[in-house]
């Protein structure tokens, strides 16, 4: 799996427009082959910050997405950023859920 994130600082006047564009983009991206999830977040501490967070089954699926005409819209939005965007691609070899918390909590409980 590959996680792709883009963090941008948007001028307050453009925030509504950018959220609308990225929300529409995220909705369509979820139907692309290899897309596990695609979400848009607004930072509650730094209001003008918007984060696009995507999870892909493979690097190949992500690469096809990055070459798409649809992703071009994201690049146009990124150009609106007031500072250099933070762009990250992280390969995930393993993931887990609640069981990790339960295992840690149970191990700690056994010590006392």
State phi, psi for 42 to the nearest 5 degrees: -110, 130
Query: Fold for domain 2-111?
Result: Alpha-Beta Plaits (3.30.70)
pTM of the model: 0.84
For residues 32 and 74, the answer to whether their CB atoms sit within 8 Å is: no
Mean pLDDT of 67-95: 94
Q: What residues have CB less than 8 Å from 101, skipping those under 6 apart?
A: none
Report domain extents, the chain.
2-111
Residue-wise pLDDT tens digits, 21-68: 999 999 999 999 999 999 999 988 877 899 999 999 999 999 999 999
Q: Nearest 5°: phi and psi at 100?
A: -65, -40
CA distance 21 to 19: 6
DSSP 14: G
């Amino acid at each position: 799996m590959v996680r792709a994130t883009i963090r941008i600082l948007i001028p307050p006047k453009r925030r509504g427009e950018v959220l609308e564009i990225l929300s529409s983009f995220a909705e369509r991206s979820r139907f692309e082959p290899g897309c596990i999830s695609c979400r848009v977040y607004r930072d509650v501490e730094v209001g003008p910050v918007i984060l696009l967070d995507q999870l892909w089954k493979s690097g190949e699926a992500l690469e096809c997405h990055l070459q798409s005409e649809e992703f071009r819209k994201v690049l146009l939005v990124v150009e609106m950023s007031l500072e250099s965007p933070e762009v990250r691609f992280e390969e995930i070899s393993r993931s887990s859920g609640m069981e990790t918390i339960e295992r840690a909590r149970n191990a700690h409980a056994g010590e006392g």
